[in-house]
Structure 1
Amino acid sequence: MQKITPFHVAVPVHNLDECRTFYRDVLGCEEGRSAEQWVDFNFFGHQFVIHYKPKSEEEDAHTNPVDGKNVPVPHYGVVLPWETFQTFSKDLIEKGIDFVIEPYIRFKGEPGEQATMFFLDPAGNALEFKAFKNMGQLFAK
Protein backbone atom coordinates (compact mmCIF):
# COMPACT_ATOMS: atom_id res chain seq x y z
CA MET A 1 0.00 0.00 0.00
CA GLN A 2 1.19 3.51 -0.80
CA LYS A 3 2.42 5.72 2.05
CA ILE A 4 -0.19 8.25 3.17
CA THR A 5 0.80 11.85 2.57
CA PRO A 6 -0.63 14.40 5.02
CA PHE A 7 -3.20 16.71 3.50
CA HIS A 8 -3.82 20.39 4.11
CA VAL A 9 -7.30 21.82 4.43
CA ALA A 10 -8.50 25.29 5.37
CA VAL A 11 -12.05 25.97 6.51
CA PRO A 12 -13.90 29.21 7.16
CA VAL A 13 -15.14 30.01 10.65
CA HIS A 14 -17.00 33.11 11.83
CA ASN A 15 -16.00 32.60 15.47
CA LEU A 16 -12.24 32.01 15.60
CA ASP A 17 -11.96 31.84 19.41
CA GLU A 18 -14.84 29.39 19.85
CA CYS A 19 -13.58 27.14 17.05
CA ARG A 20 -10.00 27.33 18.35
CA THR A 21 -11.23 26.05 21.71
CA PHE A 22 -13.33 23.33 20.05
CA TYR A 23 -10.53 21.90 17.90
CA ARG A 24 -7.93 22.18 20.67
CA ASP A 25 -9.92 21.20 23.77
CA VAL A 26 -12.79 19.05 22.51
CA LEU A 27 -11.14 17.24 19.60
CA GLY A 28 -7.67 17.29 21.20
CA CYS A 29 -5.84 18.73 18.19
CA GLU A 30 -2.46 20.30 18.97
CA GLU A 31 -2.38 23.98 18.06
CA GLY A 32 0.42 25.14 15.76
CA ARG A 33 1.12 28.53 14.24
CA SER A 34 -1.49 31.26 14.36
CA ALA A 35 -2.17 34.88 13.54
CA GLU A 36 -5.07 37.24 14.15
CA GLN A 37 -7.15 35.69 11.33
CA TRP A 38 -6.17 31.98 11.38
CA VAL A 39 -4.98 29.03 13.49
CA ASP A 40 -3.12 25.86 12.38
CA PHE A 41 -3.85 22.51 14.03
CA ASN A 42 -2.39 19.03 13.88
CA PHE A 43 -5.58 17.26 12.78
CA PHE A 44 -4.65 13.61 13.31
CA GLY A 45 -1.36 14.08 11.46
CA HIS A 46 -2.73 16.48 8.84
CA GLN A 47 -2.45 20.27 8.61
CA PHE A 48 -5.83 21.80 9.34
CA VAL A 49 -6.34 25.57 9.38
CA ILE A 50 -9.32 27.56 10.55
CA HIS A 51 -9.58 30.95 8.85
CA TYR A 52 -11.79 33.77 10.03
CA LYS A 53 -14.54 34.65 7.56
CA PRO A 54 -17.42 36.93 8.53
CA LYS A 55 -20.73 35.14 8.87
CA SER A 56 -22.90 35.42 5.78
CA GLU A 57 -26.50 34.55 5.07
CA GLU A 58 -27.29 31.04 6.18
CA GLU A 59 -27.27 28.51 3.36
CA ASP A 60 -29.81 25.75 3.42
CA ALA A 61 -28.16 22.63 4.75
CA HIS A 62 -27.78 20.00 2.06
CA THR A 63 -27.59 16.26 2.59
CA ASN A 64 -27.24 13.19 0.41
CA PRO A 65 -28.62 9.79 1.40
CA VAL A 66 -25.94 7.21 2.24
CA ASP A 67 -26.80 3.87 3.86
CA GLY A 68 -30.17 5.22 5.01
CA LYS A 69 -28.71 8.35 6.69
CA ASN A 70 -28.73 11.99 5.56
CA VAL A 71 -25.03 12.84 5.16
CA PRO A 72 -24.23 16.58 5.31
CA VAL A 73 -22.59 18.08 2.22
CA PRO A 74 -19.96 19.43 2.24
CA HIS A 75 -18.03 17.72 5.03
CA TYR A 76 -14.43 16.81 5.83
CA GLY A 77 -12.62 14.53 8.25
CA VAL A 78 -10.17 11.67 8.54
CA VAL A 79 -10.03 7.90 8.52
CA LEU A 80 -8.78 6.73 11.91
CA PRO A 81 -7.44 3.38 13.04
CA TRP A 82 -10.33 1.21 14.34
CA GLU A 83 -9.33 1.34 18.02
CA THR A 84 -8.66 5.10 17.85
CA PHE A 85 -12.15 5.64 16.41
CA GLN A 86 -13.72 3.60 19.22
CA THR A 87 -11.90 5.56 21.93
CA PHE A 88 -12.42 8.93 20.22
CA SER A 89 -16.17 8.38 19.69
CA LYS A 90 -16.66 7.37 23.34
CA ASP A 91 -14.76 10.50 24.43
CA LEU A 92 -16.98 12.71 22.24
CA ILE A 93 -20.12 11.07 23.66
CA GLU A 94 -18.85 11.77 27.18
CA LYS A 95 -18.17 15.41 26.21
CA GLY A 96 -21.77 15.75 25.03
CA ILE A 97 -21.18 16.24 21.30
CA ASP A 98 -24.45 16.78 19.43
CA PHE A 99 -24.10 14.30 16.58
CA VAL A 100 -25.67 14.80 13.16
CA ILE A 101 -25.17 11.04 12.71
CA GLU A 102 -24.24 9.13 15.86
CA PRO A 103 -21.38 6.60 15.70
CA TYR A 104 -22.52 3.42 13.95
CA ILE A 105 -21.36 0.74 11.49
CA ARG A 106 -22.13 1.68 7.87
CA PHE A 107 -22.44 -0.86 5.02
CA LYS A 108 -22.52 -3.68 7.57
CA GLY A 109 -21.50 -6.97 5.95
CA GLU A 110 -20.72 -5.27 2.61
CA PRO A 111 -17.47 -4.20 0.93
CA GLY A 112 -16.26 -1.02 2.62
CA GLU A 113 -17.90 -1.76 6.00
CA GLN A 114 -16.88 1.09 8.29
CA ALA A 115 -17.52 2.87 11.56
CA THR A 116 -18.59 6.47 11.01
CA MET A 117 -19.95 9.54 12.79
CA PHE A 118 -20.82 13.11 11.84
CA PHE A 119 -21.05 16.30 13.90
CA LEU A 120 -20.67 20.06 13.42
CA ASP A 121 -18.01 22.43 14.68
CA PRO A 122 -19.20 25.70 16.32
CA ALA A 123 -19.17 27.44 12.90
CA GLY A 124 -21.46 24.78 11.40
CA ASN A 125 -18.78 22.94 9.39
CA ALA A 126 -19.66 19.24 9.13
CA LEU A 127 -16.99 16.71 10.17
CA GLU A 128 -16.93 12.99 9.49
CA PHE A 129 -14.67 10.53 11.25
CA LYS A 130 -14.55 6.95 10.06
CA ALA A 131 -12.58 3.74 10.55
CA PHE A 132 -12.20 0.38 8.84
CA LYS A 133 -11.38 -2.83 10.68
CA ASN A 134 -9.56 -3.73 7.46
CA MET A 135 -7.88 -0.66 5.91
CA GLY A 136 -7.64 -2.65 2.67
CA GLN A 137 -11.40 -2.01 2.37
CA LEU A 138 -10.92 1.78 2.16
CA PHE A 139 -11.55 1.83 -1.61
CA ALA A 140 -13.38 -1.50 -1.91
CA LYS A 141 -16.15 -1.76 -4.52
Structure 2
Amino acid sequence: GGSIKHDISVPVSRMADFIAQASEAVTARLPGIRPVPFGHIGDGNIHFNLSQPVGMDKSEFLALWGEMNAIVHGIVRGMGGSISAEHGVGQLKRDEIAATKSPVEMAMMRALKQALDPKGILNPGKVV
Protein backbone atom coordinates (compact mmCIF):
# COMPACT_ATOMS: atom_id res chain seq x y z
CA GLY A 1 0.00 0.00 0.00
CA GLY A 2 0.87 3.65 -0.05
CA SER A 3 2.84 5.46 2.61
CA ILE A 4 3.25 9.17 3.33
CA LYS A 5 6.48 9.61 5.27
CA HIS A 6 7.60 12.29 7.70
CA ASP A 7 11.02 12.73 9.32
CA ILE A 8 10.28 15.25 12.05
CA SER A 9 11.59 16.32 15.41
CA VAL A 10 9.96 17.94 18.41
CA PRO A 11 11.25 18.62 21.92
CA VAL A 12 11.51 15.32 23.79
CA SER A 13 9.04 16.64 26.36
CA ARG A 14 6.43 17.00 23.57
CA MET A 15 6.90 13.59 21.91
CA ALA A 16 3.83 11.91 23.40
CA ASP A 17 1.71 15.00 22.74
CA PHE A 18 2.87 15.14 19.13
CA ILE A 19 2.09 11.48 18.46
CA ALA A 20 -1.36 11.80 20.06
CA GLN A 21 -2.27 15.10 18.36
CA ALA A 22 -0.93 14.18 14.93
CA SER A 23 -2.57 10.75 15.00
CA GLU A 24 -5.89 12.29 16.01
CA ALA A 25 -5.67 15.03 13.37
CA VAL A 26 -4.86 12.77 10.42
CA THR A 27 -7.49 10.25 11.52
CA ALA A 28 -10.09 13.01 11.74
CA ARG A 29 -9.26 13.95 8.15
CA LEU A 30 -9.10 10.38 6.86
CA PRO A 31 -10.75 7.72 9.02
CA GLY A 32 -8.94 4.41 8.72
CA ILE A 33 -5.52 5.97 8.08
CA ARG A 34 -2.83 4.09 9.96
CA PRO A 35 -0.22 6.30 11.67
CA VAL A 36 3.08 4.49 12.23
CA PRO A 37 5.32 6.52 14.56
CA PHE A 38 8.76 5.05 15.18
CA GLY A 39 12.38 6.01 15.38
CA HIS A 40 14.81 7.78 17.63
CA ILE A 41 12.31 8.62 20.31
CA GLY A 42 15.01 9.42 22.89
CA ASP A 43 16.31 12.41 20.92
CA GLY A 44 13.03 13.86 19.68
CA ASN A 45 13.26 12.46 16.15
CA ILE A 46 10.17 10.61 14.95
CA HIS A 47 9.51 8.91 11.67
CA PHE A 48 5.78 9.62 11.57
CA ASN A 49 4.61 7.59 8.61
CA LEU A 50 1.04 7.26 7.43
CA SER A 51 -0.16 4.06 5.81
CA GLN A 52 -3.18 4.09 3.56
CA PRO A 53 -6.46 2.79 4.92
CA VAL A 54 -7.22 -0.82 4.07
CA GLY A 55 -9.27 -0.96 0.89
CA MET A 56 -8.43 2.58 -0.26
CA ASP A 57 -6.92 3.11 -3.69
CA LYS A 58 -3.18 3.86 -3.46
CA SER A 59 -3.22 6.77 -5.90
CA GLU A 60 -6.23 8.31 -4.14
CA PHE A 61 -4.36 8.08 -0.83
CA LEU A 62 -1.11 9.50 -2.20
CA ALA A 63 -3.07 12.41 -3.69
CA LEU A 64 -3.56 13.53 -0.06
CA TRP A 65 0.22 13.88 0.43
CA GLY A 66 0.22 17.69 0.54
CA GLU A 67 -2.78 17.89 2.84
CA MET A 68 -1.35 15.31 5.25
CA ASN A 69 2.00 17.12 5.26
CA ALA A 70 0.25 20.38 6.10
CA ILE A 71 -1.54 18.74 9.03
CA VAL A 72 1.56 17.04 10.43
CA HIS A 73 3.94 19.94 9.78
CA GLY A 74 1.53 22.42 11.35
CA ILE A 75 1.54 20.44 14.58
CA VAL A 76 5.34 20.14 14.45
CA ARG A 77 5.75 23.91 14.03
CA GLY A 78 3.27 24.57 16.84
CA MET A 79 5.45 22.51 19.15
CA GLY A 80 8.67 24.28 18.16
CA GLY A 81 9.95 21.32 16.16
CA SER A 82 11.46 20.77 12.74
CA ILE A 83 9.89 19.24 9.64
CA SER A 84 13.23 17.70 8.75
CA ALA A 85 15.25 15.79 11.31
CA GLU A 86 17.95 13.30 10.36
CA HIS A 87 17.50 13.09 6.59
CA GLY A 88 18.25 16.71 5.74
CA VAL A 89 16.37 18.99 3.38
CA GLY A 90 16.02 17.79 -0.17
CA GLN A 91 13.78 18.67 -3.07
CA LEU A 92 10.50 17.78 -1.37
CA LYS A 93 10.97 20.13 1.59
CA ARG A 94 13.20 22.78 0.01
CA ASP A 95 10.42 25.35 -0.43
CA GLU A 96 8.63 24.63 2.84
CA ILE A 97 11.72 24.77 5.06
CA ALA A 98 12.11 28.53 4.55
CA ALA A 99 8.76 29.02 6.30
CA THR A 100 9.95 27.07 9.33
CA LYS A 101 13.50 28.36 9.78
CA SER A 102 14.84 31.83 10.48
CA PRO A 103 16.96 33.67 7.91
CA VAL A 104 20.00 32.98 10.11
CA GLU A 105 19.27 29.25 10.17
CA MET A 106 18.79 29.22 6.39
CA ALA A 107 22.09 31.06 5.91
CA MET A 108 23.84 28.58 8.20
CA MET A 109 22.48 25.64 6.19
CA ARG A 110 23.63 27.21 2.92
CA ALA A 111 27.06 27.98 4.39
CA LEU A 112 27.45 24.42 5.66
CA LYS A 113 26.46 23.00 2.28
CA GLN A 114 28.91 25.39 0.55
CA ALA A 115 31.74 24.48 2.94
CA LEU A 116 31.26 20.75 2.43
CA ASP A 117 30.39 20.89 -1.25
CA PRO A 118 31.89 24.02 -2.86
CA LYS A 119 31.44 22.66 -6.39
CA GLY A 120 27.81 21.60 -5.83
CA ILE A 121 28.43 18.01 -6.90
CA LEU A 122 27.17 16.23 -3.77
CA ASN A 123 23.39 15.95 -3.87
CA PRO A 124 22.89 18.76 -6.42
CA GLY A 125 19.79 20.85 -5.79
CA LYS A 126 19.47 19.86 -2.13
CA VAL A 127 19.71 22.31 0.75
CA VAL A 128 21.67 20.08 3.14
TM-score normalised over the length of structure 1: 0.25
Q: Greater helix percent: which structure?
A: 2
Which of the pair has the greater relative contact order for Cα pairs under 8 Å at 6+ separation? Answer: 2
* Structure (1/2) with the larger strand percentage: 1
